[in-house]
C-alpha cells in the first residue's frame, strides 16, 4: 500500500480530517449504476465480515461522492449488482481512472454481478487479466434466460445454489495468475480473485450476498442455504494478503 493510503487508511470518509480509528473503511456504491437492494445486501455482507469495516455508501446522491479523495480513505470499494453493462459503465466511466489508481496503489475491489462485469475491459475498469462476458451465452449454460433464477456453482469444490440474474463469467488470459473460487457447471469461471498492482480484485457472477427478501419478493424458491458464507469467503480472500 502506498504512503498516502497508509496515512489515511483508517480515517472516516465522513470527515477527512478525523483522527485515525480502528475500523477500515469499506465504500459501497449506491446510485444509478445499481439496483435497489443490491448495495444494501453488499453492505450487510461487509458488516458481517471479520474485518470490522466502517461501511459507507458512495454515489451521486450520497453524502460521499465517488472520487479519488474519497477512495483514498478506504481499504475496499464494492461495486454491487445493477442492470445493463453499457448503461452502468456510462454512469461510471468518469471514475475509471480513479478506481484503477485506487486498486493499483493497494486498495481492494469487490464486484458482484454487474460489478463483476465492470471489472472487465469491454467496457469496464480493466482490473482483470482478461475480460468478462454473459454466462447465459456460453456453451452448455445451465441458465439461458435473463430472468431471475437459481444457478448451481462449485465453490471450493462444494456444490451450492445461488441467486442469479444474467451474471458474467470471467475470461482469463493464458498464463495469468488468478485464484478461482467458483465455477459454473460448464466449468466457466463464476468467481475469482486476482492481483492488480499492489491491490486485489474479487469478482463473482451470481449473487452470494442475496438475502431472503430477494427470493420472497419475486416468489423464487430459496435454496437450503443462503450464500452469505460465500460472500464472506470472497471478502476474506480479497482482504487477506
pLDDT of 19 over the 50 cut: no
Mean pLDDT across the stretch 187-209?
Answer: 98
pLDDT of 83 over the 70 cut: yes
pLDDT of 26 over the 80 cut: yes
Mean pLDDT across the stretch 20-41?
Answer: 92
Q: Does a structural domain hold residue 89?
A: yes
Please tell me the total count of domains within the chain. Answer: 1
For residue 80, give the CATH number of its domain: 3.40.50.880
Q: Does a structural domain hold residue 79?
A: yes
Q: Does a structural domain hold residue 142?
A: no
Q: Which domain holds residue 115?
A: 3-131+170-177+189-211+226-239
Cα–chain center distance at 225: 21
Q: Does a structural domain hold residue 197?
A: yes
pTM: 0.91
Residue pointed to by grid coordinates 419478493: 217
User: Would you state the torsion angle of the CA atoms of residues 72, 201, 165, 218, taken in this order, to the nearest 10 degrees?
Assistant: -50
Q: Does a structural domain hold residue 144?
A: no
Q: Tell me, what's the pLDDT at 22?
A: 73
Q: Tell me, what's the pLDDT at 151?
A: 98
Residues 6 or more apart in contact with residue 237 via CB below 8 angstroms: 179, 181, 193, 202
Distance in angstroms (rounded) separating the CA atoms of residues 166 and 10 = 36
Q: Does a structural domain hold residue 155?
A: no
pLDDT of 15 over the 90 cut: no
Q: Does a structural domain hold residue 51?
A: yes
Q: Does a structural domain hold residue 104?
A: yes
Amino acid at each position: 500500500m502506498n504512503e498516502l493510503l497508509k496515512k489515511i487508511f483508517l480515517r472516516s470518509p465522513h470527515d477527512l480530517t478525523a483522527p485515525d480509528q480502528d475500523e477500515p473503511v469499506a465504500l459501497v456504491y449506491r446510485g444509478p449504476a445499481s439496483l435497489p437492494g443490491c448495495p444494501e445486501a453488499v453492505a450487510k455482507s461487509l458488516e458481517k465480515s471479520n474485518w470490522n469495516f466502517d461501511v459507507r455508501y458512495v454515489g451521486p446522491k450520497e453524502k460521499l461522492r465517488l472520487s479519488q479523495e474519497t477512495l483514498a480513505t478506504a481499504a475496499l470499494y464494492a461495486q454491487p449488482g445493477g442492470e445493463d453493462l453499457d448503461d452502468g459503465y456510462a454512469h461510471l466511466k468518469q471514475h475509471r481512472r480513479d478506481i484503477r489508481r485506487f486498486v493499483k496503489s493497494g486498495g481492494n475491489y469487490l464486484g458482484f454481478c454487474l460489478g463483476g462485469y465492470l471489472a472487465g475491459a469491454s467496457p469496464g475498469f480493466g482490473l482483470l487479466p482478461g475480460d468478462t462476458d454473459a454466462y447465459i451465452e456460453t456453451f452448455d449454460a445451465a441458465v439461458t434466460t435473463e430472468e431471475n433464477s437459481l444457478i448451481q456453482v462449485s465453490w471450493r469444490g462444494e456444490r451450492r445454489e445461488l441467486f442469479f440474474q444474467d451474471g458474467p463469467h470471467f475470461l482469463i488470459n493464458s498464463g495469468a495468475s488468478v485464484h478461482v473460487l467458483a465455477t459454473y457447471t460448464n466449468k466457466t469461471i463464476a468467481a475469482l480473485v486476482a492481483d492488480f498492482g499492489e491491490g486485489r480484485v474479487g469478482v463473482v457472477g451470481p449473487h452470494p450476498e442475496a438475502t431472503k427478501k430477494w427470493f420472497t419478493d419475486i416468489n423464487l424458491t430459496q435454496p437450503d442455504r443462503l450464500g452469505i458464507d460465500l460472500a464472506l469467503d470472497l471478502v476474506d480472500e480479497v482482504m487477506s494478503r
